[in-house]
Structure 1
Amino acid sequence: MKRSKALKVETMFNNFKLTFFLQPLHGLPETLSDTANANWPWQQDINWFLALAEFKRLTQQPTLHFFLLEVWSEHTRCLALPLCSTKDGRYWSSLTDVYSPSFNIISSTTLIIANPWQCLLHALTQLQPNWVYCQLSPLRQEQIQQLTKLNGCLRTHVFEHSENWLANCSSNQEYWHKRPGQLKNTIKRKRAKLLSSGSRIEIHSQLTDELMLKYWQVYQQSWKQPETDRYFINWLANYSAANGMLRLGLLFIDEQPVACQLWLVHHSKAAIYKLAQDQAFDNLSPGTVLMADMVNYVIDIDKVTSIDFLTGNDNYKAMWMDFNFKLYGAELFNINSLTGRWLWSKQWLKTTLKTIARQMHHLIFRARHDN
């Protein structure tokens, strides 16, 4: 499989004359792109995927190759899917990482295709007929429903990936009315202790090198796993500041930063992206107090109507948010390939045995309970 040139196929699909491309995804991201204002960057902006691919090259998977699978109608790109592949082009996955809260098709409304997933996977098969396996995540329930309806040479296995917590808010009064008394009392007590310790809070929408140094200073002293490389977070902070999305909160005690939070604000929504707190100050809960101020800020100043805690089902999120839903992953097997058919059979057998084991356990439990 040649990597220096894009692969191209022209074909008919559902009575549309389309062109399929498999474009190598390389190069450094720009500040803005043609989709920068469409949605969250991890959903629509090519720059996000360029930065993520560069991060993976620098750190985790230098042997992977990165592509943009595209569907064009005449001179307009109507669908695109950022993907990774092994060198031989047989194994594929969504271009996602721990930094990715969701994954979806990059689309325009120029051409309405009834099942865009079917179209894109058909494109992959036309361009790379030897592919055997593709994993996509994180996905919402409605995306999974679309993928499980795919026909032809595909078989799909669904697994649970993570969870997503959110809150709706028309005002600060409404938001805090829904929060449990335990949380509000904790914030009140800890705020008083922090004030007596000489604390202050700053929330920035512009970025400087000094602010990023303070962010990393807190991060290094926190419970967080060390970043394998700072490239991606530094890129995201600069990108979001340039696009007016950055809200960087810092809590200081005697001029020492002890808690930091990187939020993004876009189209009346706020996303809580990164949190860190100096472990030496855990007894004062500076992160909790900082989050309360960040909530007040984005509702009062930015006029957001929803707050998204993104992926992860940490217990504390339930106190801050209203509801959650599951995120999934999907494994796709190309059964036209002997290897794909074998992998699917292996997965089917594994799933079947697990189902039988659960049913047997349930029957044994009921029998013991009835006796």
Structure 2
Amino acid sequence: MRTGDGLASLANWFSFTWRPLGREDEWVDELLVALATDLRTQASQIIMSPLPDEDGSATRLEHSFRKGGWIVFREHCDENHILPVEGRSFAEYWSYRPGKMRTTFKRKAKKVDVEIFTRFEEAAWSAYRSIYAESWKPEEERADLLEDFARAEGAAGRIRLGIARADGVPVAAQFWTVEGDTAYIHKLAHIKAAKPLSAGTTLSAALFEHVIDTDKVDLVDFGTGSDAYKRDWMERNRPRYRLTCLDWRQPKAWFPLAKALARRLARGRAPG
């Protein structure tokens, strides 16, 4: 998409990854170089993020844009926590969770009731919104976009919306989706006053049990972010990268190029 500085990935804060579409073969690599070369007529700067590299996407784009005449800076910009289920049942997975978390669940689970919705329901989404509004999280800048996504996933049967209630009052909510063999964790929140109930832990356990034992997923993806609590639930961490591509031939690129070089030199690394 076009920005004030050039071109950037068509992505937002809800995006798990951004990558080129196409087969992974020599012909596509040639096409990527041709595209990179042509894009020099469209912009002096292109920023691509968040790129995975477990499939080679970041490396392929980096090489293609360098061959296309760009100076490319590659940076680690985020991380992605995942759980490969590897054929385990929820009980088997749960037995490997930290002892403190399992003890908390055992003590607090009976204090809340959990309901998991596999279709979009107005009342459940209203509960999610009220919980989010009373949580520690900042106001959702594009709540309309998130709701449209939830409605579409609900119509397709992919939504997994969990609501935890204490004495009938919604206190925690989580928005997941299941697509193919992967469960994606998008949003979670609990009201601040309900923190002593550990409703979030109980709700997470219920959703993990549902996607592992009922949906039979192979992978649970917690999206981006370095939040410490994710390490309790997930078992692997994958880096996400940002590529900043600058065309040194264009004067508009000189100032961002100087800044990028200064940052790179400060870290003791030469530019590519």
Structure 1 length-normalised TM: 0.67
Distance 1:130 1:201 in 2: 52
Point out the structure with max Rg over C-alpha. Answer: 1
Deviation at 1:236? 1.1
Deviation at 1:344? 2.2
Pick one of 165, 172, 176 that aligns with 2:81: 165
Classify 1:346/1:227 alpha carbon distance in 2 versus 1 (closer, same or farther; 3 Å): closer
1:118 aligns with 2:29: no
Residue number in structure 1 paired with 2:58: 144
Code of the residue aligned with 1:248 in structure 2: it is L
Classify 1:315/1:211 alpha carbon distance in 2 versus 1 (closer, same or farther; 3 Å): same
Pick one of 259, 262, 269 that aligns with 2:182: 269
Pick one of 36, 39, 45 that aligns with 1:133: 45
Residue number in structure 2 paired with 1:257: 170
Tell me the C-alpha RMSD between the 2 structures: 2.1
Deviation at 1:242? 1.6
- The runs of 5 or more residues in structure 2 that have no matched partner are none
Does the 8 A contact of 1:132 with 1:333 survive in 2? Answer: yes
Would you tell me which structure has more strand in proportion to its own residues?
1
Does the 8 A contact of 1:162 with 1:328 survive in 2? Answer: yes
Distance 2:193 2:205 in 1: 20
Pick one of 70, 74, 85 that aligns with 1:154: 70
1:179-198 to 2 correspondences below 5 Å: 179-192=97-110, 194=111
Classify 1:263/1:130 alpha carbon distance in 2 versus 1 (closer, same or farther; 3 Å): closer
Structure 2 length-normalised TM: 0.89
- The runs of 5 or more residues in structure 1 that have no matched partner are 1-82, 357-371
Residue number in structure 1 paired with 2:203: 290
* 3-state secondary structure, aligned to 2:268: helix
Does the 8 A contact of 1:205 with 1:245 survive in 2? Answer: yes
Residue number in structure 1 paired with 2:19: 104
Does the 8 A contact of 2:36 with 2:68 survive in 1? Answer: no
Distance 1:350 1:312 in 2: 23
Alignment length, in residue pairs? 263
Deviation at 1:340? 2.1
Does the 8 A contact of 2:52 with 2:241 survive in 1? Answer: yes
Distance 1:268 1:251 in 2: 25
Deviation at 1:256? 1.1
1:15-54 to 2 correspondences below 5 Å: none
Classify 1:211/1:164 alpha carbon distance in 2 versus 1 (closer, same or farther; 3 Å): same
Does the 8 A contact of 1:168 with 1:175 survive in 2? Answer: no
Residue number in structure 2 paired with 1:320: 233
Deviation at 1:112? 4.3
Give per-residue Cα distances to partners, 1:183-213, cap 9 Å, x unaligned. Answer: 1111111114x1xxxx311100111222211
Classify 1:351/1:189 alpha carbon distance in 2 versus 1 (closer, same or farther; 3 Å): same
1:202-281 to 2 correspondences below 5 Å: 202-281=115-194
Pick one of 308, 312, 331 that aligns with 2:221: 308
Identity of matched residues, %: 28
